[in-house]
Amino acid sequence: MIKIGIIGLGRIGKVHIKSISTKISSAKVVAAADPFLNDEMTAYAKEFGIENLSKDYKDVLNNPEVDAVMVCSSTDTHAAISVEAIKAGKHVFCEKPVDHSLEKIKLVEDALKENPVKFQVGFNRRYDHNFAAVKEAFLAGKVGDIHITKITSRDPNPPSAEYAAVSGGMLLDMTIHDFDMVRFLTNAEPVKIYVEPAVLVDKAIGEAGDIDTAVITMHMSDGSIAVIDNSRKAVYGYDQRAEVFGSKGMAATKNDSASTCVISSENGIVSEKPLYFFLERYMDSFAAEVKEFVEAIEEDKEIKTGIDAGLKAVAIALAGNLSIKEKRAVYINEVLNV
């Protein structure tokens, strides 16, 4: 039984508590901490049998009962807490992004070289059944050599302008999942990126220094082209699709919906809208990624989504931000080699 400590009892921390407690029999959450611990958080934790609660994350790191730590706190604390946890000999699952700074991510990388614990980054979409099926089709040779990869990622509602101002920007906050997905689906690395940005959803987001709409093109190390389109507002629901097109064919996903029922009548053909919220769409993938993390600890297996994945996704996002700023295509190495 792997005993886990959760640091951060916000939305994603609660998601992991629920998934571990209800879907992973080989792990148990035994401690949790949040600097803003309140009655609501306390009641939620105790609902799942977690009695060891604190406002100080160090209480989790210093707890000898804790085998592994899940870092679900605010992004600006991810790297520092991860380094402390690694040095304390704890296995670490860190939510994305590890940090907005490559230098700070490299400090985590250095700590792992000195302390051989397991470290996984929370790119849960790799564990979604739809995207996993596209990857399996590619690995089975059904697509052939990849020519074009397309990813659509659109949220049902935009964040507040206040959130946009502190999030690091859409590319680091939202599109980072898509950058990781391109790497995952193709087994290739983005070499060059160009971002065509816009503010079409909420002017206040633009005034806060961010964007809410983008089309992104990337040249990949295998010679293929990847295209991502993002929007902060799709009125019909959470729009998450991917397509890999190649020399032998194509593998593509549709959106998940509440049912696959299609009603055809004289008034038209009507089907369900996509699931509206990311927790509805990806709840099973959150459990699957943690299950793999736990199995890696138990069986001493390699982590597939480790610190390299965390570093590369942030590097691509930073290169994308530079593309927006300088209105040009940017090579990823311009950022990585700084």
Residue owning tokens 């999030």: 167
178 with 243: CB under 8 angstroms?
Answer: no
- With CA atoms as reference, report the closest residue to 171 among 190, 188, 185: 190
Under DSSP, is residue 228 helix (H, G, I), strand (E, B) or coil? Answer: strand
Burial class (CB in 10 A: 0-12, 13-18, 19+), 296: buried
C-alpha–C-alpha distance, residues 199 and 203, integer Å: 6
Radius of gyration of the CA atoms of the chain, in A: 20
C-alpha–C-alpha distance, residues 198 and 290, integer Å: 35
Helix (H) or strand (E) holding 40: helix 39-47
Cα–Cα separations (whole angstroms), residue 17 to 9, 20, 22, 25, 29: 9, 5, 8, 13, 7
Strand partners, 209: none
C-alpha–C-alpha distance, residues 115 and 240, integer Å: 37
pLDDT of amino acid 260: 67
pLDDT of amino acid 283: 82
Predicted structure pTM score: 0.93
pLDDT of amino acid 237: 84
pLDDT of amino acid 266: 85
Residues of the chain with pLDDT under 50: none
- With CA atoms as reference, report the closest residue to 211 among 228, 196, 197: 197
pLDDT of amino acid 215: 98
pLDDT of amino acid 165: 83
Domains of the chain, start order: 2-117 (3.40.50.720), 126-279+313-336 (3.30.360.10)
pLDDT of amino acid 280: 64
pLDDT of amino acid 253: 93
pLDDT of amino acid 231: 97
151 with 227: CB under 8 angstroms?
Answer: yes
pLDDT of amino acid 336: 87
